[in-house]
């Protein structure tokens, strides 16, 4: 199966950005300036989109100030990213194997089916259609994540085929930077309310994850996912990069601890164990390959 860049995505993304900027309640100038800077950055360094998106994922959410639950600042960033890729130089075709394509198609099919079941029959849009979780349109908010992933997949697949190791390093860097940005938000919150070293208050941080205002496990899930990448960075890099990885791990561990979530602790431990096992098995595979060279 062949995945080709869809230049037809440029117009919908441009219209989405125009609508988001025009009605942005916190100042259209700030949003438009930031998006313009992002587009210029991607024009100069096209491969910066992956670490940049991952680094901003846990913090680029101003719904608690703007009231926008369905179309937030991170959606605008992703739309600008897709727009930059659609208008950029033509990319070589990225191939997807039969079984991965089948799995991806099944996920898309089940998501579309759930979206139809949840939204049908569509009510007439009104003032309260896109500002709460009880609206019939809430399915759109849940399904947009998969839509963005599908729109960004061709660029990621092309990078993996061109230089898989470099793409993996950029992915790990983005997750590690995302760990740092989320931790900075936690430090800000802790310093404002219970205090950085007050571990007896029982205060559970929420960071800048808007979804935490109705409970859930968004923040510890992010730390559990990103901490293993920072650990991998610290264990595989050298020099100042290794030192930076160690500092990122320490910051991430602090932030995870003050989440006070046993599930998050367990998930992070499993992720770190997988990283340790993978790095431990790698030298053995190399030694076996050296002892048994091919014909």
Which is more confident, 89 or 101? 101
Query: With 90 as the cut, is the pLDDT of residue 286 above it?
Result: no
**Full DSSP string of the chain:** -EE---GGGHHHHHHHHHHHHHT-TT-HHHHHHHHHHHHHHHHH-GGGHHHHHHHHTTT---HHHH--SSS-HHHHHHHHHHHHHHHSSPPPPEE--HHHHHHHHHHHHHHHHHHHHHHPSPPPP-TTTTSSTTSTTHHHHHHHHHHHHHHHHHHHHHHHHH-HHHHHHHHHHHHHHHHHHHHHHHHHHHHHTT-TT--SS-PPP-TT-GGGBTB-SHHHHHHHHHHHHHHHHHHH--THHHHHHHHHHHHHHHHHHTT--HHHHHHHHHHHHHHHHHHHHHHHHHHHHHHS---
pLDDT of residue 285: 55
Query: With 70 as the cut, is the pLDDT of residue 40 above it?
Result: yes
pLDDT of residue 48: 97
Confidence of residue 290 (pLDDT cuts 50, 70, 90): very low
pLDDT of residue 284: 58
pTM, to two decimals: 0.90
């Amino acid at each position: 199966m062949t995945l080709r860049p869809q230049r037809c995505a440029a117009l919908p993304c441009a219209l989405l950005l125009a609508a988001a900027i025009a009605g942005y309640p916190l100042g259209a100038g700030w949003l438009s300036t930031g998006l313009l800077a992002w587009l210029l950055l991607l024009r100069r360094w096209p491969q910066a989109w992956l670490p940049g998106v991952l680094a901003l994922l846990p913090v680029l959410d101003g719904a608690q100030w703007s009231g926008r639950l369905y179309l937030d600042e991170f959606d605008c960033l992703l739309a600008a990213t897709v727009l930059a890729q659609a208008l950029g130089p033509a990319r070589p075709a990225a191939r997807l194997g039969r079984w991965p394509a089948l799995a991806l198609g099944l996920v898309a099919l089940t998501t579309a089916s759930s979206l139809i079941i949840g939204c049908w029959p569509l009510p007439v849009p009104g003032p309260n259609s896109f500002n709460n979780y009880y609206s019939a349109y809430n399915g759109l908010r849940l399904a947009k994540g998969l839509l963005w992933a599908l729109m960004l997949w061709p660029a990621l697949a092309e990078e993996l085929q061109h230089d898989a190791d470099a793409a993996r390093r950029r992915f790990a860097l983005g997750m590690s930077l995302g760990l740092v940005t989320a931790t900075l938000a936690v430090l800000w919150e802790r310093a404002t309310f219970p205090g950085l070293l007050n571990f007896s208050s029982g205060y559970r941080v929420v960071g800048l994850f808007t979804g935490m205002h109705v409970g859930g496990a968004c923040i510890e899930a992010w730390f559990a996912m990103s901490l293993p990448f920072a650990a991998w960075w610290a264990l595989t890099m050298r020099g100042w990069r290794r030192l930076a990885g160690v500092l990122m791990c320490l910051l991430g561990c602090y932030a995870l601890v003050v989440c006070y979530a046993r599930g998050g602790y367990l998930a992070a431990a499993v992720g770190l164990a997988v990283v340790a096992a993978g790095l431990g098995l790698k030298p053995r595979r190399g030694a076996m390959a050296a002892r048994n060279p091919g014909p």
